[in-house]
Amino acid sequence: MKQSQFKEKPACAETKKAAPSEAVCPKCGAVNEMWSDETEVKCSSCGQQVVKTP
């Protein structure tokens, strides 16, 4: 899985800019939004560091 900008999400009217991808927390399973310029994000649920998977 390299580039998967558009999975099965309905195309919103504005997808010109970078769309956030989903990063699933390995600890609690919460889905966090991660922007393309980010490589890691702090889980909004438990605070676990979630690293983007290539």
Output the six-digit token pair for 39. 């490589």
Least distance from Zn ion to the Cβ atom of residue 43, Å:
3
Judged by beta carbon, residue 41 or residue 43, the one nearer Zn ion is 43
Judged by beta carbon, residue 28 or residue 51, the one nearer Zn ion is 28
Q: How many Å apart are CA 45 and CA 31, to the nearest integer?
A: 9
Least distance from Zn ion to the Cβ atom of residue 42, Å:
9
Residues sharing a CB contact under 8 Å with residue 33, sequence separation 6 or more, in sequence order: 20, 21, 22, 23, 41
Least distance from Zn ion to the Cβ atom of residue 25, Å:
3
